[in-house]
Amino acid sequence: MQDNKNKQVGMLQYDKTDVTISAIETKYHGFFKLNEYQLKHKLFSQKQSKTFTREVFERGDAVVVMLYDPKQDQLLLLEQFRAGVLRANDTPWMLEFVAGMFDDNESPIDVAIREAKEEANVELKPASIKLIMKYFSSPGGTSECIHLYWATFDSTKVLSGSVYGLADENEDIMLHVVSRNDALALLSNGKISNAATVIGLQWLAINYQSLTSESQVSQVNI
C-alpha cells in the first residue's frame, strides 16, 4: 500500500484524452444496445493500464421532471409497472416523477414538455422548467445520463387517481397528488426507491423554502 500520509492529490486531473479505445463491438441492438469496449487508460501512477474489456449498456439519456406546486406545497407522483424491479421481492409498481427518453433532435426541455403531457396531462411552459442537476445513473455499466428538472404546476387542476400514458407504449400510469411531507414520509418508509425520485425529493427537502419564497414573489409581481 502506498503511503499517502499528508500528501495532497489533485482531483479529477484526467480526461477523455487519457483513455484509448482500441475497439467497440455491438453485442446486442434492440430497443437498447449493448456495446463491448476494448480500452486502456492512464493510471494514477502515471503508467498505462493493460487493455481490458467493459460491456456498456447504451440506453440513451433521459429527462426526469419533478412537478411541484410551491403554493400548495404538493407534488405529483406517478405510479406505474417497471419490469426491471421484477427480481426484487417487493412490488414492481413504483412511485416516480414524470420521465422519458429523448426522441431524435429533441432538447431536454422538449422532452420534459412532451412527457408531462403524455404521462400526466400537464402542460408545461419552458420558463417553468428549471434544471436541478445532471447525473449518471450507473456509470459502471451504462452510459445513461439523467437530466433532472423541477417545474411548477397547479396541483388543484390534477385529479388523483387519473390514469394516463400511451397505449402503444404499454403505459398505464396513475397520478397521485401528495403533500411534500407525505412524499418524504414515503421516501423514509422505503416506498420510493428509484434513484431520480429519491434524488429529487432530497433536493426538495433542502430547497423547498426558497422555492416557496420565489413563488410568493412571483404571485406579488403578477
Q: Is position 169 annotated as part of the catalytic site?
A: yes
**Dihedral sign for Cα atoms in the order 82, 85, 86, 90:** negative
d(CA 153, CA 210): 16
Beta-ladder partners of 40:
20
Please give the single-letter amino acid code of residue 200: G
Residue bearing cell 424491479? 85
The sheet with strand 19-29 has its strands ordered as 19-29, 33-41, 52-58
Q: What letter would DSSP give residue 142?
A: B
Q: What letter would DSSP give residue 1?
A: -
Q: What is the DSSP string of 48-64?
A: BPPPEEEEEEE---EEE
Q: What letter would DSSP give residue 39?
A: E
Question: Which set of grid coordinates corresponds to residue 162?
Answer: 387519473
d(CA 181, CA 208): 11
**Dihedral sign for Cα atoms in the order 169, 123, 204, 187:** negative
Radius of gyration over every alpha carbon of the chain, rounded to an integer in angstroms: 21
Active-site residue (options: 79, 169, 171, 214):
169
> Which residues are designated catalytic?
169
